[in-house]
Amino acid sequence: MVKLIIDTDPGIDDAMAIFYAAAAPDIELLGLTTIFGNVTTKIATRNALRLLEAVDLELPVAEGAAAPLSLPPFAPSAQVHGAEGFGDIPAATPKGQPVAEEAADFLIRMAREHKGELVLCPIGPLTNIALAIQRDPDFARNVKSIVIMGGSLREGGNITPHAEANIYHDPHAADVVFAAGARLVMVGLDVTHRILCTPDDFASIAGQSPELGGMLQEMSAFYLAFYETVGKLDGCSLHDPAAVIACTHPDLFEVETLPMRVSCSGETSGATLEAEVGTRKPTAVCIHVDAPAVKSLFLKRLALLP
């Protein structure tokens, strides 16, 4: 059983990842922390609470940073995820509230309380994780691992020709994380671009899980339409679910172990690059994936939901 916290900017594929984690029998979800990216941090918090209520889980949601470490704030990615984060599904107010503790402090405390056991899966920009590292010198040692959805080794970018969106939205934070010495796994575009879900796949999820699968199918229409606008007609990538699956099924991913750094300026800003050997502890960078196995796990487990 993996003890997991997801740091998230929900977000359509974030919603898929959180529903997957709620359904997975090998994951003990301990809470969510929120960050800007697909939406503002405030909307991310509201959406995170709403997703947990949908899957009937009473768990803490800790709100994170409102802006990157050094860069000015970016506009949310409304063209990909819709103005409220869930495509065309209108905003709804959750019943619950976030906890009083801010995300970085919540992460620090949880990493101490579950020392050596906590797996952290950031599926948005890495600001909260960098703040936790900067505030607590033991944080990187206390977590079991940090499995990042972000970056790209050889695949090129998705928000610029060089950068993947999560890293691009706070490159300084990502560089702090790659330099921290924690056990890191990078689940980037090299693998997530290989794992595609089609309208038929979402229809099959909705057929078996009418309520929650149906909600994902409704959201996915907006996401799939965006993919079509950028010439990707064979489905949408399961970016965030792939990272959550990598937390429990590392065997489905082939890695290269490399020290990594992040470009923080100029036209390559947000690019994840190999650092000089010996300058930082290596990251397990996913370069190949058993895409049919990841997808089948995703479809099979979502079907368990109501």
Active-site annotation, residues: 9, 239
Do 129 and 64 meet the contact criterion of CB atoms below 8 Å apart?
no
Sole window of 55-63, 159-167, 226-234, 244-252 interacting with ligand BDR (rule: CB under 6 A)? 159-167
Q: How far apart are CA 260 and CA 279, in angstroms?
A: 9
Among Ca ion, ligand BDR, none, what binds residue 158 when CB lies within 5 to 8 Å by partner kind? ligand BDR
> Residue 196: enclosing H or E segment and its boundaries?
strand 196-197
Residues binding ligand BDR: what is the number (CB under 6 A)? Answer: 15
165 binds ligand BDR (CB under 6 A): yes
Nearer to ligand BDR by Cβ, of 165 and 182: the residue is: 165
136 binds Ca ion (CB under 5 A): no
In the bound complex, what is the minimum distance in angstroms from residue 119's beta carbon to ligand BDR? 17
152 binds ligand BDR (CB under 6 A): no
Residue 158 CA to chain centroid, in angstroms? 15
Q: How far apart are CA 91 and CA 118, in angstroms?
A: 32
Do 123 and 166 meet the contact criterion of CB atoms below 8 Å apart?
yes
Do 189 and 285 meet the contact criterion of CB atoms below 8 Å apart?
no
Sole window of 26-34, 88-96, 118-126, 266-274 interacting with Ca ion (rule: CB under 5 A)? 118-126
Among ligand BDR, Ca ion, none, what binds residue 165 when CB lies within 5 to 8 Å by partner kind? ligand BDR
Q: How far apart are CA 226 and CA 270, in angstroms?
A: 22
Token look-up 């010495």 returns 181
In the bound complex, what is the minimum distance in angstroms from residue 107's beta carbon to Ca ion? 17
Binders of ligand BDR among residues 85 to 114 (CB under 6 A) are: none
In the bound complex, what is the minimum distance in angstroms from residue 267's beta carbon to ligand BDR? 18
164 binds ligand BDR (CB under 6 A): yes
Q: Which is it for strands 145-149 and 184-187: parallel, antiparallel or unpaired?
A: parallel
In the bound complex, what is the minimum distance in angstroms from residue 174's beta carbon to Ca ion? 14
Token look-up 């909705």 returns 206
11 binds Ca ion (CB under 5 A): yes
Nearest by Cα to 114 from 138, 136, 135, 144: 144
Contact residues toward Ca ion (CB under 5 A) are 9, 11, 14, 123-124, 240
